[in-house]
Amino acid sequence: MLRRGLVSGIVSFALLVGMLAAPAGADPSEFAPQDAATAQLQQALADAGFYRGAVDGSFGPQTQQAVMAFRKEVGATRSFTWDNSLSGLLNSYVKPWTPFRFAEPDRVEVNLTRQVAYLFKGDVLSQVFPISSGNGEPYTNQFGSFSEAHTPTGDFKIQRHIRGERISFLGVLWNPWYFIGGYALHGSPSVPAFPASHGCIRLTMWDSSWLESQLSIGLPMHVWFEPAGVGPVFAPGGTLPVGGPSPCASGNCDSVAFYDIASRFYHWDRIDHAHQVNAFFYGNPSDIAFTGDWDGDGVATPGLYRRSDGFVYLRNSNTEGVADITFYFGNPGDLPLAGDFDGDGRDSVSIYRPSEERVYVINELGENGGGLGAADSSYAYGNPSDVPFVGDFDGDGTDTVGLHRPSTGNVFLSNSHQGGAADAQFVFGDPGDKMISGDWDDNGTDTVAVYRPSNGLLYVKNANGGGPAHGTFDAGVGLAGVVTMGR
Ligand SMILES: [Ca+2]
Ligand SMILES: [Ca+2]
Ligand SMILES: [Ca+2]
Ligand SMILES: [Ca+2]
């Protein structure tokens, strides 16, 4: 496990060199005053997952390859030398972009774009390795015909392994782990900055040895080029702990469920990753998901608005199965708002109609198999591009409607079912963020959080005002959305 919170201090590389001046009379070439700084760099690279060697202050080949791996990973110029201008990136490096793979907590991911491989343990980044893959050039294969030196991409499992040296037609492989046909992840004396192999994935000899105890037959291995627009995750300002201290001292706070494009819900018991997730399928892709306590038993469960047929589908348990209550809902373009709008302890589904910039408050569920009843009240609210969400922002026991304006990041909160000026306004989140609210600290008041699909983080706030998030939750990138789950 990485000690990300402790990664710090290599900013002072140059400072240390100055402080640790050689004593009078020493031969500078023997004393090598930079050794302390090199050791500090080695430790920082080890903490971030790039270095597995001894912290000995020696800037040897293994340290140089760790620097190369880091440069590849963060998109810096590929070289074997360290540059202090990279210290900020190393201090704030959190994790790579990778596809979301909840079902495979232990796996190898090979990023051909960056020429690195990632080892995941328990769905957490364990180590980053420099690699060199197929260079794409034609060559004559063992059958005398032309091949192109491409590394196969796709979703594999490690199939077989040979310990030690394997002499193949194209050269010597060390400790090869075959993932398809004759293609293997293997040790090689040559791991340059760029693709150089005939299609295998080269590791350094020492990484190959290190991995002997880490890999196994059947281990999932995925080989891919990185999609445009994604990349490694860095801590904003270097201050936010990812999956850091629990924001919920009582253990009785609201949590979240993320759902993917296949409508699989990943329900976290606690927002701090401390507890096991429950996962279940509900709904279809492109359904609008929300949650509420439809039967008043104190448990929040999913609801869906299916735009293709205009129906709402509510379920009373967090398990796979069909809807318990179904009713026709609103007009095309309407957005569902789920909450307890009258404070009677049961959630209902209200309507935000962007075309009219209007909220329709409805305190009863629709008749099962029928339609939604008449609205109890309505009021003008927001702009057509605003994204509404629901919460009890003042802790009075009644839910009201907030708005997130993605174009500016403005958040508007209203504590009553009336139009007019917002009761609170602040800026939070980026375009593309998904905003929800919940009582993350068990103080009775709902506050906002945003999920950012591009970096996989949920940014959680415990006060409805400006400023940075109070904590982040590492959910994985590319999920379709997030909903609030009850405590
Ligand atoms: Ca319930
Ligand atoms: Ca109610
Ligand atoms: Ca309220
Ligand atoms: Ca709260």
Q: What is the 3-state secondary structure (H, E, C) of 48-62?
A: CCCCCCCCCCCCCHH
Tell me the ligand closest to 343's alpha carbon: 2
Measure 485 CA to ligand 4 centroid, in angstroms. Answer: 14
Strands 93-95 and 471-474: unpaired
Q: How far is it, in rounded angstroms, from Cα 444 to Cα 284?
A: 33
336: CB partners within 8 A, 6+ apart: 288, 290, 303, 305, 312, 329, 330, 349, 350, 351, 352
Q: How far, in Å, is the centroid of ligand 1 from the Cα of 318? A: 9
pLDDT at 21: 36
Closest ligand (CA of 393) = 3
Domain ranges of the chain: 4-95, 107-224, 241-485
Q: Which ligand is nearest to the CA of 398?
A: 3
The residues placing their C-beta within 5 Å of ligand 1, an ion, are: 293, 295, 297, 299
- Say how many Å lie between the CA of residue 192 and the centre of ligand 2: 64
Span from the CA of 401 to the centroid of ligand 3 (angstroms): 9
Q: Cα(364) to centroid of ligand 2, in Å?
A: 7
User: Which ligand is the nearest neighbour of the Cα of 444?
Assistant: 4
Please determine, looking at this structure, whether the domain spanning 107-224 carries the CATH number 2.40.440.10: yes
Confirm whether pTM is higher than 0.75: no
- 374 CA → ligand 1 middle, Å: 23
What DSSP line would sit under 344-388, residue for residue?
A: SS--EEEEEEGGGTEEEE--SPPPTTSB----SEEEE-S-TT-EE
Ligand 2 center to 360 CA (angstroms): 14
Of 464, 456, 473, 321, residue with least CA distance to 403: 464
What is the distance in A from the centroid of ligand 2 to the CA of 399? 9
Q: What is the pLDDT at residue 1? A: 35
The CATH classification number of 4-95 equals 1.10.101
Among all bound ligands, the one having the nearest atom to the CA of 365 is: 2
Residue 235: per-residue pLDDT: 65
Q: How far does residue 480's CA lie from ligand 2's centre (Å)? A: 28
Cα–Cα distance for residue pair 106/442, rounded to 1 Å: 34
pLDDT of res. 276: 61
Q: State the ligand closest to the CA atom of 338.
A: 2
Looking at the CA of 344, which ligand is closest? Answer: 2
Task: Please tell me the CATH code under which domain 241-485 is placed.
Answer: 2.130.10
| Structural tokens at position 28 | 């500078």
> What pLDDT sits at residue 273?
55
Residue (of 178, 182, 204) closest to 193 by Cα position: 204
Amino acid code (one letter) for 157:
K
b vs e for 231-256, b when ≥16 Cβ sit within 10 Å of the residue's Cβ? bbbbbeeeebebbbebbbeeeebbbb
How many CA atoms within 13 Å lie on the side-chain side of 453?
14
- Percentage of the chain beyond pLDDT 70 is 88
Residues 6+ apart with CB under 8 A from 10: 40, 41, 44, 87, 90, 91
Ligand in closest contact with the CA of 346: 2
Whole-number Å distance, alpha carbon 301 to ligand 1 midpoint, is: 6
**Measured in angstroms, how far is the CA atom of residue 362 from the centroid of ligand 4?**
25
Token reading at 461: 């706030």
Could you say which ligand is closest to the alpha carbon of residue 448? 4
* Residue 318 Cα to ligand 2 middle (Å): 20
| CA–centroid distance, residue 464 to ligand 3 (Å) | 13
pLDDT value, residue 230:
64
Ligand nearest to the CA of 339: 2
Using CA atoms of 214, 215, 220, 225 in order, give the dihedral in degrees to the nearest 10: 90
> Bridge-partner residues for 342, per DSSP?
none
Residues with CB under 5 A from ligand 2 (ion): 340, 342, 344, 346
> Other CB atoms closer than 10 Å to residue 444's CB: what's the count?
11
**What's the 269 CA to ligand 2 centre distance in angstroms?**
24
State how far the Cα of 193 lies from the Cα of 114, in Å rounded to an integer: 10
**12 secondary structure, DSSP code:** G
The CA distance from 116 to 97, in Å, is 12
Q: What are 264's strand-pairing partners? A: 281
**What is the whole-number distance in angstroms between the Cα of residue 440 and the centre of ligand 4?**
5
Strand 325-328, strand 311-314: pairing: antiparallel
* Tokens read off for 167: 């002499």
Q: At residue 437, what is the residue type?
A: S
In angstroms, the CA 160 to CA 180 distance is: 9
CA–CA distance, 334 with 313 (Å, rounded to integer): 15
Per-residue confidence (pLDDT) for residue 274, from 0 to 100: 52
How many whole angstroms separate alpha carbon 119 and alpha carbon 100?
14
Reference 335, options 307, 369, 376; nearest CA is 307
Low-confidence stretches of the chain (pLDDT < 70) are 1-34, 100, 102, 228-230, 235-247, 272-276, 487
